[in-house]
Every structure is written in C-alpha cells, then in structure tokens.
Amino acid sequence: MEYVVGVKILPRTEVLDSQGRAVEKTLSHHGFENLSGCRVGKYVTLNIKADNEDSALKEAEKVSEFVLYNPLIESFEMEIVK
C-alpha cells in the first residue's frame, strides 16, 4: 500500500527565525494586529510504499533525518496525510 506522509519542518524555537519575523512585521504593518508570532518553515510530502502506517512513518523519519532537515537549527513532525 502507498502512504502519503507529510513532514513539517520548522526552525527550532531557540533559533532566530528572521523570515518569520519579517512576515510578522509585514502583517502587523498591514493591520493584522492580533498576530502574536510567526514561524516560517517547509512542508514536504513523501509517497511511501509500506505494509502499514508505522512502517511508512519509520521510512519517512529516515528520509527526514538523512536529507530534509538540519538537526542543529530545525525540528520536524510527521503525519499520515491519506
């Protein structure tokens, strides 16, 4: 069976997110006054052939750790999309 795994990659909370701050500043200048923060990252979908969801997530974790994120400055979360 084929699973689609979504991988959300964001800067670690300890790391300055200059792109997120720029978006937040721009939005506040355009009247979005209730905004209290913004973090910018990336979302990657992986189509993985596996026997079950757990196997698909394990494979996605291997891929993420190998190439998708930088563990020094980023963290990631995964989910089965469909």
Euclidean distance between CA atoms 74 and 48, whole angstroms:
23
Euclidean distance between CA atoms 25 and 27, whole angstroms:
5
What per-residue confidence (pLDDT) applies to 5? 98
Domain coordinates in residue numbering, the chain = 2-80
Per residue in 34-65, pLDDT tens? 999 999 999 999 999 999 999 999 999 999 99
What per-residue confidence (pLDDT) applies to 82? 73
Q: Which CATH number fits domain 2-80: 3.40.50.1110, 3.30.1280.10, 3.30.70.20, 1.10.240.10?
A: 3.30.1280.10
What per-residue confidence (pLDDT) applies to 71? 95
Task: Take residue 16 and report the two structure tokens written for it.
Answer: 């300055």
Q: Determine the average pLDDT of the residues in 16-34.
A: 94
3-state secondary structure of 64: helix
What per-residue confidence (pLDDT) applies to 51? 97
Euclidean distance between CA atoms 41 and 7, whole angstroms:
11
Query: Residue 17 pLDDT > 80, yes or no?
Result: yes
Task: Take residue 73 and report the two structure tokens written for it.
Answer: 């400055």
CA 24 from centre of chain: 18
